[in-house]
Amino acid sequence: MLREALQLHGGYGYLNDYPLERWVRDSCVHQILEGTNEIMRVIIARHLLEKGGTLEQLL
């Protein structure tokens, strides 16, 4: 959603005058620090399956 908002604002989305710039920057940092979404999905799925969950519960 942030990428769409950035496209909507064009060059203004990169200016410090607007909060969108900080939101986009922070979202990129969170992905780097926390890991990609795909890695997090694998970790969560592995944890649930080790606890006796089934594949159907994950879907």
* 3-state DSSP helix/strand/coil % of the chain, to nearest 5: 80, 0, 20
Q: Residue 17: which domain range?
A: 2-58
**Average of per-residue pLDDT across 8-34:** 80
**Average of per-residue pLDDT across 6-20:** 85
Q: What is the pTM of this model?
A: 0.46
Number of domains into which the chain is organized: 1
Q: What is the pLDDT of residue 31?
A: 66
Annotated active-site residue in 4, 34, 38, 56 = 34
| Whole-number Å distance between alpha carbons of 7 and 10 | 5
User: Is the model's pLDDT at 11 over the cut of 80?
Assistant: yes
Higher pLDDT, 58 or 47: 47
34 is catalytic: yes
pLDDT in tens, 22-56: 888 888 776 666 677 778 788 888 888 887 766 66
| Whole-number Å distance between alpha carbons of 10 and 13 | 6
* Per-residue CA distances from 6 to 11, 15, 35, 40, 51 (Å): 8, 11, 23, 25, 41
